Amino acid sequence: MYRYLQRLAHEQPVYFWSFAIGLAGPVMVATVPPIRKSFGWTPAERIPTTFPLPDRARRPTVGYEDA
């Protein structure tokens, strides 16, 4: 396998680097989260998906009637 990758790197570098980047993805999935946790990284607060309603009686709007 090593000799094949070495030959591929010289003769067809595009395929070699595509292979290398393709292997890097799954490796990073397993290694990056523990490294970030060791640095004290915490995820940001989630963005609100709803608007908070006021805790009072709702008044109807006045003055916007189409006449």
In terms of residue numbers, what domain contains 31?
2-38
In a domain, 24, yes or no: yes
Residue 23 domain flag: yes
Q: Is residue 19 part of a domain?
A: yes
Spatial CB neighbours of 19, under 8 Å, sequence gap ≥ 6:
5, 8
Residue 67's Cβ-count burial label (10 Å; 0-12, 13-18, 19+) is exposed
- 20 in a structural domain: yes
Predicted pLDDT at 2: 87
Give the mean model confidence (pLDDT) for residues 31-51.
91
Q: pLDDT tens digit string along 4-28?
A: 889 988 999 999 999 899 999 999 9
Who wins on pLDDT, 43 or 62?
Answer: 43
Quick check: is 15 in a domain?
A: yes
Structural domains in the chain (count)? 1
Cα–Cα dist 6/11, whole Å: 9
Please report whether residue 22 resides in a domain: yes
Is 11 inside any structural domain?
A: yes
**What pLDDT is recorded for position 67?**
54
